[in-house]
Structure 1
Amino acid sequence: MQRVTVTLDDDLMEELDHLIEERGYQNRSEAIRDLARAGLGQAKRETGNQSNCFGVLSYVYDHAARDLARRLTSTFHSHHDLTIASMHVHLDHDNCLEIGILKGPTSEVQHFADHVIAERSVRHGSLQIVPQAPKGDTEGESHEH
């Protein structure tokens, strides 16, 4: 077993302590190990599928963080082929919520989302993946748009 030092902001630590109490964990390490296992399992499910998907990427970030808005915009421009639409919401004086609708190969959508969520001062990031049905695999009659 290895020892790892992780820095968490006070609000996140408070949430973690609440979860520990709610679920009856003996200590923080047990809870963090379970959360890491769950996250790794989800990542395997999401990246194991090489078909196309739609993704809904949502994240909250500190708009005043140094160069973060510029880096995020640059990242989206660099991956314009994956981005269908985006929405920006001012939550309060310090925080913004962005939602991006993505479409492309599952592994590329996941990699892009991971990169955005990993940026410093990005909080509460998540990606919801919706598999894209292969052509000819739709219910009912097909039609052209």
Structure 2
Amino acid sequence: METGLMRIGVSLPDALLEKFDGIIKEKGYPSRSEAIRDAITSYITYYRWMGDIKGHRVGTIAVIYDLTKHGLSNALIEVQHRYSHLIKYSVHLYLGHEEGFELIVLDGSGQEITELAGAIIAIKGVKFSKLTTIAPDVK
């Protein structure tokens, strides 16, 4: 049960808000506030899960990024060079003239994998990033 509510103001691009409002309507949310609460809860849960990734892991990071953003490609390369010991394979696809997709396959320390995923999503121009990992059953 919520004990108190706090009002906040958020600035969003029109297109993003229109997409969000479409989802709200499709899912039948009673209000935008309720949908935003669910989105924030999901975000917190995901990042708590990332914090629990320990030990040897294999996984992937899927990234969609803005090809028109100046310096973005260099920033992605720089971050990946810092964690090159984890990266086993990567593939790049062009999704038209404005978006790129990259899939990075990883093997190594769970903590370092989550650090890499966090560094990638923090780069301005990265539109989406999703980390998936498992602990391999190596005997």
TM-score of the aligned structures, taking structure 1 as reference length: 0.82
- Give 5+ residue unaligned stretches, structure 2: none
Offset of residue 102 of structure 1:
1.3
The residue identity in structure 1 corresponding to 2:115 is H
Q: What is the aligned length?
A: 135
Say if 1:121 and 1:82 are closer, same or farther in 2 by CA, change over 3 A.
same
* 1:90 and 2:89 aligned: no
Runs of 4+ in structure 1 off by over 6 angstroms are: none
Say if 1:129 and 1:93 are closer, same or farther in 2 by CA, change over 3 A.
same
Q: Which residue is equivalent to 1:39?
A: 43
TM-score of the aligned structures, taking structure 2 as reference length: 0.85
Q: Which residue is equivalent to 2:122?
A: 118
Residue pair 1:82, 1:109 contacting (<8 A) in 2 also:
yes
Residue pair 1:47, 1:106 contacting (<8 A) in 2 also:
no
Offset of residue 77 of structure 1:
0.7
Q: Which string of whole-angstrom CA distances, capped at 9 and with x for unpartnered residues, describes residues 10-55 of structure 1?
A: 4432221122112222222221111111221122223213122112
Q: Helix, strand or coil for the counterpart of 1:127?
A: strand
Alignment root-mean-square deviation, CA: 1.7
